[in-house]
Structure 1
Amino acid sequence: MSGATMRMKMFASVAAIAAIVFAATPSHALDIRKMTLSNGATLLVSEQHQLPMVTVMIEFDAGTRRDAKGKEGLAELTARCLSQGTKELTAPEFDQKVDFMGSSVGVSAGRDYSTAGMTTLKKYQGETLGLLAGILTEPGLRDDDIERKRAEQVAEIKAAEEQPGYTADVEFTKDLFGDTPYGHPGAGYSDSVAKLTNDDVRGFYHDYYKPGGAIIAVAGDVNADEIKASLEKSLAGLSGSVTPQAEPPPITVAPGLNVKLIDRNVMQANIIMGSGGVERSNPDFYRLKVMNYILGGGGFSSRLVKVVRSAHGLAYSVDSGFEPGKFQGAFIVSLQTKNQSSNEAIDLILQQLREIQEKPVSDAELDSAKKFLIGSFPLGLERQSAIASFMVQIEFYGLGLDYADQYPKLIGSVSKDEVLAVAKKYLHPDSMIVVAVANQADAKIKTAQLEKAADAPSAQ
């Protein structure tokens, strides 16, 4: 299964459970208090006293989009290395302290930002926060640890490169985004990571792990004023801000189907096709969620699954999705099919893209999509870590503290005319990138035949 498929996979079978959970979840369950620390970080606190546990997440403007050209994978490597202890505690000593309390402490790098986080029992809150603060204010970043984590990252990338889905995902990303912040895999390339130096890691930490503009989200059995005071003290060693990153130019895809064929001795072709998408702040985001659920994001209820898999038996998995971010993201359709059925499957997908642009969806499709999207929303807020992550996202993308209340209304108000309008505006079946990792001798993907279906250029 490709990386894109795993990111976008959704199963309609949980809809009934989701509806029950939503009905039982009070709208005030996510009362959020917003404050600002003296170092410039924004603090969001949701007091959740049901369990004696505490989760803290700190977002830094240190995501993989910050990787410089030739240093792809540096943000990821830095995050891994920050979890390797403090100046006083070696990696084994640090892990031993964390394990003794049954806590978790670590740093991870995402595309838009990196997250330093902890989850702990209430009684170990102070000690665990001290360890988290330690790897942020006085990280060890020892040569041996950096070299070990670099070797691990290179090995993981080389293993992933053997997977056809990963290869398709990486090639599609490079072709769509080019030399822009989103144009490389988050972990980097095996050769780029192998060249990263210990000073590169230390430099990235000093440049990007700064509190000014950072977002701290706390969920759990806490008092907002008390946790604010604790964070002020624990993070006193951090200072400074990060200069905002320039927004890249809009994505453009040449007219026609821009096909890249990669030959592998595989039983099934892994195909990713798509075009430019939207940024998360786009006001059409909610209309697109509804439209895409009907098209290919709704699991077995989606048109792509019904047509490509169920009616024609051409694919075990096929789905579509928008991947919005701080900057413009991608629209992707991904599938696995027998090599010999690649051309037919691609043609059916293009037909479905055009069909949803040409006439309104049915009342039943619209109603089903909205019920699922509204009903499943609370499932993402069942755990403290999910609540903390949710708070980081609503602040980072400027969604508003009342987003949990507003989301059902935003989805519920989408009309058939709006679904049709966003399909026409944001789907580009006549200007797409197609990456196919397949046994090309069996697949016989006919690029000329595919391009013939794209004789009406559409602007992106």
Structure 2
Amino acid sequence: MSTQILDRSTVPAPGVPKDVTFPNYFESRLPNGLKVIVYEDHTLPLVSVNMVAYGGAAFDGDYPGLADMTAELLTKGTAERSANDIVDEIEFLGGSIGSGAGWDSMSVGISILSRHVDRAMEVLADTTRNPAFPEEEIDRVRQQRLSDILQNKSNPTSLAYERFCGAVFGTHPYAQPADGTSASVEAMQEEQFRAFHRARFTADNCFLILVGDVQPDAMMEYAERLFGDMAADASGERSVPQPAVPQGRLVQVVDRPSAVQSSILVGHVGIARNHEDYIAVYLLNMVFGGFFGSRLNLNLREDKGFTYGAHARFDARIQPGPFSAGAEVRNEVTDRAIEEILHEMERIRSEAVSEEELEKVKNYVTGSFPLQIETAAQVAQRIVTIELYGLDKTYYNSFNSRILALTTDDILHAARKWMHPEKAVIVAAGRGNLLRNTLERFGAVDVFDPQGARIPNIESQAQDT
């Protein structure tokens, strides 16, 4: 019998990445228009039930933070149950309940043992259809929000992001902070929460998704019994306006006089989630700044030593959200770090990435993708994405092959179309008197205090050498 010696000094060649079959799932509609989605996974006796409503913080209007506060208050009391009753009932059954809002949706979700799914569905129906918005809970949530907002005013990262979004989006809804402002949180009352809930949680503006150890037929029966008489009201606004793209560079500073480092962001309006270029832009961003081995991190961290980590992201929403690249850097290298970000943006636009570099990033993306749809909860989140953004049900079946099909010319084309260093908004939160002086080479600098008020005549300070 022959034996073969394994050479452990040689790294084995990676296998050829393949497409991953995204799990099939059941979907149907009740007569009132409510869509019901069921994904069966009988591996464990667990189930997750979620009611998702289209439209989140993008519809806050005159009250920034309205969607987020409304979502939180849905689980804080109904006509039949107090906040404590809701939590006690679900926890007694070994489950958990939560709610929240993003830019494009609001949701309430319960995770529980599958034998208690009927009880979970009853609580879900009660919280999404009959919220009471008790005054004491509104006051409690309000005080917590005000405390969080106050705390964020001393956080350079939060200050930079809020200023960045305001500069990028101007009067568009995406310019507003999704968690609200002190003024808006103080102003919101029961009337606003009830109106927002009434407009969002209608049968034709929601979908119910159940994932785990469940059977579609049984879940449709529960859905019909608990949500079959849910009103359908098409009057709720579903469209978000297209954001305008600033035509020139803006440079803004948030003054934190005692800061020992700066939080910087560079970017502009990005891409919508359902755009045909999204996958190319996703891979472009991975090369540029989307993971530890990206160009941006290798430059600012490994080569220059300016930061512990640099990052970039296209935050794709119903409409184009922000593209941002940033880092936390020492005060004295703030301008040089911004210069390097702009340099990397220009470099990826002007010269094609090498085949070797692109292959490395492709292997990272395609190798990690299967790990992102391993659990029922991960699959559920992908289904929510498909529903929110109108993607094809088989969208993720060909994700890896579409990544692998992209060429160096495709990435160059995407960079030239979707990255614009000459129109970038540049924001730094740090020592205003120093930053105003050092950042003037990028354009006229406007300085703001943490509350958003312009500081017209902050004294400049020369950079230490």
TM-score normalised per structure 2 = 0.88
In percent, how many aligned pairs have the same letter?
Answer: 27
What SS class does the counterpart of residue 141 from structure 1 fall into?
A: coil
Shift of 1:441: 3.6
1:42 aligns with 2:38: no
Which residue number in structure 1 is paired with residue 134 of structure 2? Answer: 142
1:334 aligns with 2:326: yes
1:434 aligns with 2:426: yes
Separation in 2 of the partners of 1:204 and 1:328? 24
Separation in 1 of the partners of 2:133 and 2:341? 48
Separation in 2 of the partners of 1:370 and 1:196? 47
Amino acid at match of 1:189: T
Which residue number in structure 2 is paired with residue 230 of structure 1? Answer: 222
Which residue number in structure 2 is paired with residue 248 of structure 1? Answer: 241
Separation in 1 of the partners of 2:352 and 2:66? 46
Shift of 1:324: 0.7
Amino acid at match of 1:379: L
Separation in 2 of the partners of 1:199 and 1:250? 29
Separation in 2 of the partners of 1:281 and 1:288? 12
1:165 aligns with 2:157: yes
CA RMSD in angstroms, aligned pairs only: 2.0
1:235-275: CA deviations, max 9, x gaps? Answer: 234212343434423431232x3111111111110011111
1:109-161: CA deviations, max 9, x gaps? Answer: 11111012111101111111111111112222212222221222222221122
Alignment CA distance shift 1:328-1:221 (3 Å): same
Quick check: 1:343–1:445 contact (8 Å CA) kept in 2?
no
Which residue number in structure 2 is paired with residue 295 of structure 1? Answer: 288
What SS class does the counterpart of residue 203 from structure 2 fall into?
A: coil
Shift of 1:363: 1.0
TM-score normalised per structure 1 = 0.89
Alignment CA distance shift 1:221-1:209 (3 Å): same
Quick check: 2:104–2:318 contact (8 Å CA) kept in 1?
yes
1:330-368: CA deviations, max 9, x gaps? Answer: 110111110000111111111111111111101111111
> Which of 25, 30, 41 is the equivalent residue of 2:23?
30
Quick check: 1:254–1:431 contact (8 Å CA) kept in 2?
yes
Quick check: 1:112–1:325 contact (8 Å CA) kept in 2?
yes
Quick check: 1:106–1:116 contact (8 Å CA) kept in 2?
yes
Alignment CA distance shift 1:428-1:330 (3 Å): same
Alignment CA distance shift 1:319-1:129 (3 Å): same
1:191-241: CA deviations, max 9, x gaps? Answer: 111111121111211122112032222210111121111111112342123
Separation in 1 of the partners of 2:233 and 2:402? 34
> Which of 350, 357, 361 is the equivalent residue of 2:342?
350
Quick check: 1:60–1:113 contact (8 Å CA) kept in 2?
yes
What SS class does the counterpart of residue 212 from structure 1 fall into?
A: helix
Quick check: 2:46–2:113 contact (8 Å CA) kept in 1?
yes
Amino acid at match of 1:323: D
Amino acid at match of 1:169: Y
What SS class does the counterpart of residue 117 from structure 2 fall into?
A: helix
Quick check: 2:22–2:397 contact (8 Å CA) kept in 1?
no
Separation in 1 of the partners of 2:177 and 2:441? 31
Separation in 2 of the partners of 1:97 and 1:249? 43
Quick check: 1:61–1:214 contact (8 Å CA) kept in 2?
yes
1:272 aligns with 2:275: no
Which residue number in structure 2 is paired with residue 323 of structure 1? Answer: 315
Shift of 1:442: 4.2
Shift of 1:429: 0.6
Shift of 1:28: 4.4
What SS class does the counterpart of residue 443 from structure 2 fall into?
A: helix
Separation in 1 of the partners of 2:242 and 2:383? 29
1:83-115: CA deviations, max 9, x gaps? Answer: 112211111122111110111223211111101
Separation in 1 of the partners of 2:247 and 2:186? 34
Separation in 1 of the partners of 2:272 and 2:176? 17
Which residue number in structure 2 is paired with residue 94 of structure 1? Answer: 86
Q: Relative contact order: is structure 1 or structure 2 higher (C-alpha 8 Å, sep ≥ 6)?
A: 1
What SS class does the counterpart of residue 88 from structure 1 fall into?
A: coil
Which residue number in structure 1 is paired with residue 373 of structure 2? Answer: 381
1:364-383: CA deviations, max 9, x gaps? Answer: 11111111111211222233
Quick check: 2:267–2:426 contact (8 Å CA) kept in 1?
yes
Query: Which sections of structure 2, spanning at least 5 residues, go unmatched?
Result: 1-10, 445-465
Separation in 1 of the partners of 2:82 and 2:405? 54
1:18-67: CA deviations, max 9, x gaps? Answer: x99x87xx944611122112221222221101011111222102411110
Separation in 2 of the partners of 1:213 and 1:90? 26
Shift of 1:444: 5.3
Shift of 1:307: 1.2
Quick check: 1:108–1:114 contact (8 Å CA) kept in 2?
yes
Shift of 1:411: 1.1
Shift of 1:68: 1.2
Amino acid at match of 1:282: H
Separation in 2 of the partners of 1:328 and 1:445? 33
Separation in 2 of the partners of 1:217 and 1:297? 30
Separation in 2 of the partners of 1:125 and 1:405? 30
Shift of 1:425: 0.8
Quick check: 1:106–1:132 contact (8 Å CA) kept in 2?
no
Separation in 2 of the partners of 1:194 and 1:128? 33
> Which of 214, 220, 234 is the equivalent residue of 2:206?
214
Which residue number in structure 2 is paired with residue 123 of structure 1? Answer: 115
